[in-house]
Amino acid sequence: MPQRCVQVTAAPPAGAAARTVGPSAGAARMNGARPAAAANASEAFTDETLGRMSELARMFLEIERREPVAAHLLPEDLAASLDLGLGEHGLPLDRVFALLGEVMAMTPRTCSPAFFNQLYAGRDAVPTAAEMLTALMNTSMYTYRVAGPHALIEHELMRHMASKVGYAEGEGIICPGGSIANLCAMIIARNEARPGIQDEGHDGRPMVAYASEEAHYSLNKAAAMTGIGRRNLRGIETDSHGRMIPDALRRAIIADRDRGAQPFTVIATAGTTVLGAFDPIDDLASVAEEFGLWFHVDGALGGSFLLSERLRPLLHGSERSDSFNWNPHKLMGVPLSCSPLLTRRQGLLKKHFREPADYLFQSDPERFDHGTMSIQCGRRNDALKLWAAWKRHGDAGYAARVERLCDLVQYAAQRVRSDPQLILTAEPESVCLCFEVAGARSEEICERLLLEQRAMVGHAVVRGRKVIRLACANPEVTEADLDRFFDHIRAIA
Ligand SMILES: Cc1ncc(COP(=O)(O)O)c(C=O)c1O
């Protein structure tokens, strides 16, 4: 079994007494006698709580520095190592904080420079602090009355981001993830194509959506959930870079129209999940326009490239889209999740998501009651962290960040090209690099890198081949970190 990464002292029967976690001197202070739990299931947030929190945060940062890849345990081993069960009586506060420390120590390290596994990575101090404060304030974003300045902050963010897409008078709403943003876009596109569907339901005539064969799987879910049906989502052929081919799109639309179905939306991807490819947005906008279809851009990954003069051309034509999905929690380093859906025209979100609720939407100017524009009722505050980070870095800071990420991937690509044992899958367009190791199975390489605690990286299938996908989302990663990564690969292979 891989080594445990936290020092746990004294192990009485589960739940019986406090165990201590971590090496800090403050741990002793945390072990004082305390009542089992507050009688009314509410604990005051005090200086002591703050102290314990920062102590755990410091402990985690230290563990992450010392051990950038956590030991990977099987779920049953992990379950056996943790006191997971819930019971009739509460535990002493010290014990609960000790448990939090144990959980943190066993948590995969997504912020370390050895993490290349997902399209988000790294840690930025300002949005992280803002996120912690968000929990402390615990606003819900549905009404101006309870959100106060946070409603104005979200409004300003949406205005700024919409203007970066190129929408002169756009609007937006932060959704709980890019998948939900895509779902909301599909709902709007469906409703706009079928006025009356919100009241009468679907009349059964097939409606067809188009995205590239490399598009994110959330579109399948959206098609399944909106009554469109997965079979009516066409996966359009891509070129060798993984970009949708506009002529193939045109042909598919004409074929569907000729058989009596109703094409209703084209979805371009700006930064595909595996290859990081950018569909030719301007050309696809022309096809959508030709057939009068809603044009959505899934810029979950690549939306932030709009902030860089150098990278923005990859999104040329975005201003012609009707809606745009942009996930700052991916490449802009804000904690998960933060996923605005932006629309070109104002009033659309209210038109498709507003429902009367006199117990909620009451006297304040509805303009800032963002619950009337959302698929949700209670909604967490994902605005403050992004706003604070943007204040800190500005557009220019984010431009430098995404450019750095692309440079890192180009460096990695050069390593692959110069190594006869490595095979490049496709020339990288952005922050993902796919490759294979000659004579080795990609999934085995990934597994060994993890089990030997060298790096975390994932694999995917591209044109029928299992490849390693290196995702660079952390600008703190250095060329030396990438060299180390490839040295590990060589050692294993
Ligand atoms: C292109 C693309 N769209 C949508 C999503 C979904 O975003 P989320 O994970 O926030 O639901 C992803 C996630 O990786 C993605 O890569």
DSSP characters over 332-395: S-PPS--EEEEESSTTHHHHHH----TTTS-SS-GGG-GGGGSS-SS----HHHHHHHHHHHHH
- Low-confidence stretches of the chain (pLDDT < 50) are 1-33
Atom of ligand 1 nearest to the CA of 339: 10
Mutate which of 120, 213, 225, 273 for ligand 1 pocket (most atoms within 8 A of beta carbon) = 273
Q: Whose CA is nearest to atom 8 of ligand 1?
A: 178
Q: Please tell me the predicted confidence (pLDDT) of residue 229.
A: 97
How far is residue 161 from each of residues 3, 156, 157, 166, measured CA to CA in Å?
45, 9, 6, 9
Q: Whose CA is nearest to atom 4 of ligand 1?
A: 178
Neighbouring C-beta atoms of residue 479, cutoff 10 Å: 12
Q: Whose CA is nearest to atom 16 of ligand 1?
A: 273
Atom of ligand 1 nearest to the CA of 272: 1
The rounded distance, in Å, linking the Cα atoms of 480 and 484 is 6
Mutate which of 110, 117, 119, 233 for ligand 1 pocket (most atoms within 8 A of beta carbon) = 119
Q: Please tell me the predicted confidence (pLDDT) of residue 364.
A: 67
CA–centroid distance, residue 178 to ligand 1 (Å) = 5
CA–centroid distance, residue 324 to ligand 1 (Å) = 13
CA–centroid distance, residue 391 to ligand 1 (Å) = 25
Beta-strand pair 432-437/465-471: antiparallel
Atom of ligand 1 nearest to the CA of 271: 1
Q: Please tell me the predicted confidence (pLDDT) of residue 59.
A: 98
Residue indicated by tokens 């390489």: 445
Helix (H) or strand (E) holding 169: none
Mutate which of 218, 279, 338 for ligand 1 pocket (most atoms within 8 A of beta carbon) = 218
CA–centroid distance, residue 27 to ligand 1 (Å) = 40
CA–centroid distance, residue 212 to ligand 1 (Å) = 14
Mutate which of 216, 274, 386, 429 for ligand 1 pocket (most atoms within 8 A of beta carbon) = 216
Q: Whose CA is nearest to atom 14 of ligand 1?
A: 273
CA-wise closest residue to 488 among 436, 443, 453, 438: 453
Q: Please tell me the predicted confidence (pLDDT) of residue 30.
A: 43
Q: Please tell me the predicted confidence (pLDDT) of residue 36.
A: 62
The rounded distance, in Å, linking the Cα atoms of 251 and 79 is 53
CA–centroid distance, residue 278 to ligand 1 (Å) = 14
Atom of ligand 1 nearest to the CA of 269: 1
**Beta-bridge mates of residue 269:** 298
Mutate which of 117, 212, 327 for ligand 1 pocket (most atoms within 8 A of beta carbon) = 327
CA–centroid distance, residue 273 to ligand 1 (Å) = 7
CA-wise closest residue to 372 among 391, 392, 352: 352
Atom of ligand 1 nearest to the CA of 177: 10
Q: What is the DSSP string of 323-349?
A: EEEE-HHHHS-PPS--EEEEESSTTHH
Q: What are the structural domains of the chain?
A: 8-107 (no CATH), 129-388 (3.40.640.10), 394-492 (3.90.1150.10)
Neighbouring C-beta atoms of residue 298, cutoff 10 Å: 31
CA angle in degrees (0–180, nearest 5) for 157-159-165: 105
- Peptide bond connecting 337 to the previous residue in cis, omega within 30 degrees of 0: yes
Mutate which of 214, 301, 331, 334 for ligand 1 pocket (most atoms within 8 A of beta carbon) = 301
CA–centroid distance, residue 48 to ligand 1 (Å) = 39
Atom of ligand 1 nearest to the CA of 337: 10
Q: Whose CA is nearest to atom 7 of ligand 1?
A: 178
Q: Please tell me the predicted confidence (pLDDT) of residue 184.
A: 98
Q: Please tell me the predicted confidence (pLDDT) of residue 424.
A: 97
Q: Which residues line ligand 1 (CB under 6 A)?
A: 119, 177-179, 182, 216, 218, 269, 271-273, 298, 300-301, 327, 337, 339
DSSP 271: S
Q: Please tell me the predicted confidence (pLDDT) of residue 39.
A: 73
Q: Please tell me the predicted confidence (pLDDT) of residue 367.
A: 81
The rounded distance, in Å, linking the Cα atoms of 429 and 420 is 22
The rounded distance, in Å, linking the Cα atoms of 477 and 4 is 26
Question: What would the pLDDT profile of 30-46 be if each residue is shown by its tens digit?
Answer: 444 455 667 788 999 99
